[in-house]
Structure 1
């Protein structure tokens, strides 16, 4: 596999392929990165894919081998990343036996030539079978031999590789059988994330989508909507009617937990302020201010300078773009 050719093809597929093709390409690339010992790059790619497509992780594990591959990698890692929480747990001992049977299947030179034809079954039955040397190398846990056999293939079967339980720990530890190196996985993930953003540009129409995207990238969960009585009590206590977009936010999420570079957004019952200034975070670095009847959101930063946003939604969208850029 030539890394530059692979990446060029992968980006083109993400930009121009149909939706199933996008999922197949992202799934393959993520497994490729994971088998190179670059779990963080793989997680970054899948997290971005899930964020922009809103499709379930099961779309990346649509067959038994790919589902098995992720399960074996997670076992070797000792953890399941957040994006994989929706994947069903598998009996790994049973999956190991099934995979050894899969690796031992014979193949024919006629495989695939008559696919879809009424005579495909007859031809397949008559054609002599032979062991597949690539699968045999995996069955024998011969990682070097596997790499030698697939080196000229544009898209090696990394799912079958990762699903081989005896090899998964070596892959997670950084065996890097295809010789991708320490920098290419980050470049690959970055290029595919950029392609996903171009194909699915930002512009989430609903507050639930926006909040869900922020929480997904942070690896957090929503506190749930604010109680209408808490919002009403906050407005009465502050003596102001809160901006419509901020009320829409509270109707989806009663504040947000803190992030590495963003303070905790307060629930309605903890809002405080005076007059035309409402403090909506702890520490008090995010404010809503009203001038001439128009509300703005202010981020206070005594070191780098404060930033003004035309609305609370604009502030949260800005935060989302920063999360996407750093994911």
Structure 2
């Protein structure tokens, strides 16, 4: 596999293919990186794909071999990333047996020749069978032999490699049978993430989508929404009607947990006023201030200077852009 050719084709598929082609390409690229010991870039790529498309992780594992491949890699690395939480758990012992049968299954030169025809089964049964040398190398636990056989293929079957349980730990630890090197996985993930952002520009997200994108990139779980009664009680206590976009935010999530560079956004019951501003974070570095009839969101930073945003939503959208840039 030529790395530059692979990446050029992958970027083109993401930019110009239909959604199924995008999912197939991102799924293959992520498995390719993961089997080279680059779990971080693989996770980052899939998280960004989820963020911009909103599609479930199951779209990247639409068949048994790919689902099995991810499951074996998760076992080998000892954790299951947040993006994969929606994937159903598998019986790994049963999957290992099924994969061994898959690797050792005899193939025929006539396989697929009469696909869809009533005679396909009969022809397949009569045709002489032989081992598939690529799968046989995996069955023998020989990733280097496998790599030698697929080196000229533009898109090696890394799912079958990942799903081979005895090899999974070696892959996670950086065996890198295809020789991708230490730097290329980051380059590949970065180029495909840039292509995804170009293919799926942010536009105007709904509030649920905006909050989900922020939490996904932070690696956090969604919280409960505020109730209409809770919002009304907060406004009564504060003596002010909160801005509409902030009220919309509360109806999706009653505050947000802190992030590395962003404070905890308070639930409605903890909001307070001070000097004609509404303090919405702890520590008190994010405020809602009204000038004339317009509300603004203000970030207070005594070191680098405070920033005013035209709305609370604008503040969160900027936060999302910073998360995307640092992912």
Does TM-score exceed 0.5, indicating one fold? yes
Distance 1:308 1:275 in 2: 17
Superposed CA offset, 1:240-287 (max 9, x none) = 211110011011111000011110000111111235311111111111
The offset of 1:138, in angstroms, is 0.2
The offset of 1:119, in angstroms, is 4.4
Corresponding residue for residue 18 of structure 2: 18
Distance 2:204 2:93 in 1: 42
Indicate whether 1:258 and 2:258 are aligned: yes
Corresponding residue for residue 318 of structure 1: 318
Corresponding residue for residue 104 of structure 2: 104
Corresponding residue for residue 205 of structure 1: 205
What SS does structure 1 have at the residue aligned with 2:37? coil
Q: TM-score, normalised by structure 1?
A: 0.96
Distance 2:296 2:113 in 1: 64
Corresponding residue for residue 162 of structure 1: 162
Residues 27-106 of structure 1: pairs in structure 2 closer than 5 A: 27-106=27-106
Superposed CA offset, 1:212-261 (max 9, x none) = 11111111122211122322222222222111100110111110000111
CA RMSD across the alignment: 1.3
Corresponding residue for residue 136 of structure 1: 136
Superposed CA offset, 1:12-36 (max 9, x none) = 1111111111111111111000000
Corresponding residue for residue 221 of structure 1: 221
Distance 1:325 1:116 in 2: 47
Superposed CA offset, 1:176-201 (max 9, x none) = 11111111111111111111111111
Stretch moving more, 104-113 or 141-150 = 104-113
Distance 2:27 2:89 in 1: 18
Residue 254 of structure 1 contacts residue 268 of structure 1 at CA under 8 Å; is this kept in 2? yes
The offset of 1:70, in angstroms, is 0.5
Superposed CA offset, 1:64-123 (max 9, x none) = 101110110000011100111111111111111110000001222233344344543343
Give the gaps of 5 or more residues in structure 2: none
Task: Provide the aligned length of Structure 1 versus Structure 2.
Answer: 327
Distance 1:274 1:230 in 2: 20
Residue 53 of structure 1 contacts residue 200 of structure 1 at CA under 8 Å; is this kept in 2? yes
Corresponding residue for residue 270 of structure 1: 270
Give the gaps of 5 or more residues in structure 1: none
Distance 2:100 2:149 in 1: 19
What SS does structure 1 have at the residue aligned with 2:197? helix
Corresponding residue for residue 233 of structure 2: 233
Residue 141 of structure 1 contacts residue 166 of structure 1 at CA under 8 Å; is this kept in 2? yes
What SS does structure 2 have at the residue aligned with 1:106? coil
